[in-house]
Amino acid sequence: MAEAEALLAQSRALYLGVAREYMADRNSFSGDEGFARIIMPKYVATNNALKIVDYCMEVVGAHGMMRKFPMERYYRDVRSGPIHPISGYDALEVIGKHAFGIPRDSDPRWV
């Protein structure tokens, strides 16, 4: 559970930090850099959530898959995170291209 807590704290810190930056200066979130900054917390939080529910399922065991317990819903709902916009691979493309200074709309798409 310590690993799950650490991942949750990491996600929360990044998400809230970027939200504060956005609220302080929305204009700094323009272009490819701004887009990469906006989607980073979604990507990190979604992937951390997958790990967190896996840790939790290890703790609760098979009972976690029973509908009468909330863990079943948490586990199922978190699994849909990577496919909701912006999907995990699309996010990685944007973040990676920005890291290397490659325009987001450059071809080939997967650089």
Residue extents of the structural domains in the chain:
2-99
Q: Is the peptide bond before 108 cis (omega within 30 degrees of 0)?
A: yes
Q: Kindly report, residue by residue over 57-82, the tens digit of the pLDDT.
A: 999 998 888 889 999 999 999 999 99
pTM assigned to the model: 0.86
- What's the fold here for domain 2-99? Butyryl-CoA Dehydrogenase, subunit A; domain 3 (1.20.140)
In this structure, the chain runs to a length of 111
Cβ pair 71, 30 in contact under 8 A: no
Q: Kindly report, residue by residue over 83-111, the tens digit of the pLDDT.
A: 988 998 899 999 999 999 999 888 777 64
Cβ pair 93, 110 in contact under 8 A: yes
Question: Would you give the DSSP letter of residue 45?
Answer: H
Residue 83 to residue 77: CA distance in whole angstroms? 11
Q: Kindly report, residue by residue over 5-47, the tens digit of the pLDDT.
A: 999 999 999 999 999 999 999 999 999 999 999 999 999 999 9
